[in-house]
């Protein structure tokens, strides 16, 4: 059974960098069939896709956050990570990591089938 688990600081100061890691178990991130994604949910709000990365290291970010986001993966530890810099209170949210299934031919995303439980990050001085 595939499991994803987010980890990282629960409190970040404004203007600093938010850093989170997602540990994947029960399956390898070194696979052509999946995108590894970050999605967040501000308090009492809906879901916002932050971006995803592929096993090759290629990335695709939401343009609304593009200039502040960096994602990377580490196949040796089966983890992938998110860095969001210059955070403000608007970045306070529950951050989910998720696995996106895609077709192998062109890797068109189909759906997100496994999600972590989410980690709450507050931005406050």
Contacting other proteins (CB under 8 A), which of 48, 68, 78, 83?
Answer: 48
| Closest separation in Å from C-beta 111 to other proteins | 4
Furthest CA-CA distance within the chain = 47
113 binds other proteins (CB under 8 A): yes
122 binds other proteins (CB under 8 A): no
Per-residue tokens: 12: 């970040």
Q: How many CB atoms are located within 10 Å of the residue 95 CB?
A: 22
Q: Cβ closer to other proteins: 65 or 83?
A: 65
| Phi, psi (degrees; rounded to nearest 5) at 103 | -75, 150
9: Cβ contacts below 8 Å, ≥ 6 apart: 18, 19, 121
74 binds other proteins (CB under 8 A): no
Pick the piece of the chain touching other proteins (CB under 8 A) from 22-30, 71-79, 80-88, 115-123.
Answer: 115-123
Q: How far is the C-alpha of 100 from the C-alpha of 32, rounded, in Å?
A: 11
| Closest separation in Å from C-beta 9 to other proteins | 20
Helix (H) or strand (E) holding 96: strand 93-102
Enumerate residues 53-72 that contact other proteins by CB under 8 A. 60, 62-64
Binding site for other proteins (CB under 8 A): 46-49, 60, 62-64, 96, 100, 108-113, 115-118
């Amino acid at each position: 059974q595939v499991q994803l688990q987010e980890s990282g600081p629960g409190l970040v100061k404004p203007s600093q960098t938010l850093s989170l890691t997602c540990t994947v178990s029960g399956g390898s991130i070194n696979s052509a069939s999946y995108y590894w994604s970050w999605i967040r949910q501000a308090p009492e709000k809906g879901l916002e896709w932050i971006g995803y990365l592929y096993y090759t290291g290629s990335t695709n970010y939401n343009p609304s956050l593009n200039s502040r986001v960096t994602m990377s993966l580490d196949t040796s530890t089966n983890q992938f990570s998110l860095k969001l810099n210059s955070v403000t209170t608007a970045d306070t949210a529950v951050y989910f990591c998720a696995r996106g299934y895609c077709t192998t031919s062109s890797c068109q995303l189909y759906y997100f089938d496994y999600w972590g439980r989410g980690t709450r990050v507050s931005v406050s001085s």
